Structure 1
């Protein structure tokens, strides 16, 4: 496909580092994609998100189709212009949100009819409509429309859902058509069952995509089960295409996924946690709302160069969080996104240098130390 490509520059075990090339810029892998659900990463300016080191953002088909609508965004020049982010954007298909958020949904072979969680209006989403919405948004990486059953589910239910998703994947590919410079990713399903994952991978590679996602994880199965699947699932997908683990995750999830051959991830965690006062640092998670920070003049993390750590004390961050000030969400979200992007840069460097095992050991050792002692 012209204008879209993937180059692996180094490997260390199953881990890879490289670059996804798009007409809107390069994406360094392994990549973490901040989530801009409704055309914004909450509490952040686009240039601030870029300053943290993000190469690509994720937009949400379901939310944007309901408000302000894909047709309106298209009339206004597409999602990049609309939200003032000129770099690559990946849009999800809307399938996961339809299953988890909408009311009174009815699913058939054709697609899903559902009522909006915003105003109760009735909508229909199918592989063809999902491709149309993502085309109107103008995203660089488009995801197939799929169904993601909530776990735990019976193996029969997971198998039935996976096969439906594979039929929808073929329809997504046909509806996507020929769009130079834009990529379409297929999504592997199959829950935690190896044979179903294998069947799904074979179906997807038979159709042929520009990249492949490992879907249906991080939906309540726990880290051990997720890593169990990631021990084999990425290896079932073409080695020369990007592999994207959807909806992950915590820093130790990310590190474990990269070790197992994943190239791309996304999660609301850094931004959502920032707004609730939960901060990710080299020494684990810090809850800024705790009283121990009220008189602490020290920075959150003395080794971090984000604005929250560079210019403000723990006491101040505690105060503005407790007072419900908007600057709290701004600073704490910036810190978390900065930490996540710094982690990705560290992983890329370690893979390139062939010292990933040492990097991972140090990562776990520092987190095990816990936060600095209270004053």
Structure 2
């Protein structure tokens, strides 16, 4: 065991545990500014629609039984998901959100001396989870359209690569690679390298093709999905993955038992059985996303088309824009020197963001591309 004996003062040296170096140097997950004083929260890609009465009733009913353990691996939810997707239940693994499932996947397939390739900028939790797993994060810049550069990601795969993560739609830029792009990519990835397709925002893209069908041809594919976004259960923490029986079984062996609470399972199961309500919420987001995107482009900002429930504003003055949005009573998520991500919500929140843009870049002079 390594001890830290640096002096804590003039009287005696401090002795305390020292974390692994890669843990001590981890980046911190960012927080939005001004959350306590805003009217509209547009910084965490949450749904603005509260759970339906049926979901709330399911939560309350499940809460009455929390003196008991939940099922080992969210068995009822797993069966329901498998039934709709048309795959055996053994290929589905439910958990407390897609992020813990990604952590379990990395823990099962990576470690010291291995690499994980992913785009950058992409979801900021990726480098953190990779480092916790003991692996090295290999960041590949997005292309000129703020999309995953799949050719460059392939070129970054080496003998040390064990996992490639593709976030589609990408968070925070919202950009998409189409189904044909993904198929060509999977055909070229070495079969011993696991490809994790993170589809947290899939429902907002209205895709014609389902990536789950690709599992029949690519045994090295894992598809991650969540109930936090389109299903509006961010506070419940429920997600799932679909993979080949062998890969799913390996990840399940690395998963803690009772990883999905019975309250979260009940909420997700009830929401899963209300696809029409989910579709209505997604349609409302798509309409407001179009309004906000058009307003930003009208002001001269190069906003990419988004497939998520958010819009990406490329801006060197990201922190300034974040502060001005807070002054307009809406929180957003700034990435210093790169851009600002705005969760799509109500019309008043969209107009507040547009007002913030107008303050920084008056329309008379035209907003800069960045």
Q: Same fold (TM over 0.5)?
A: no
**Alignment TM-score, normalising by the size of structure 2:** 0.29
- Name the structure where helix makes up a greater proportion of residues: 1
Return the index of the structure with the highest Cα Rg: 2
**Alignment TM-score, normalising by the size of structure 1:** 0.28
Q: 1 or 2 for the larger relative contact order (CA 8 Å, sep ≥6)?
A: 2
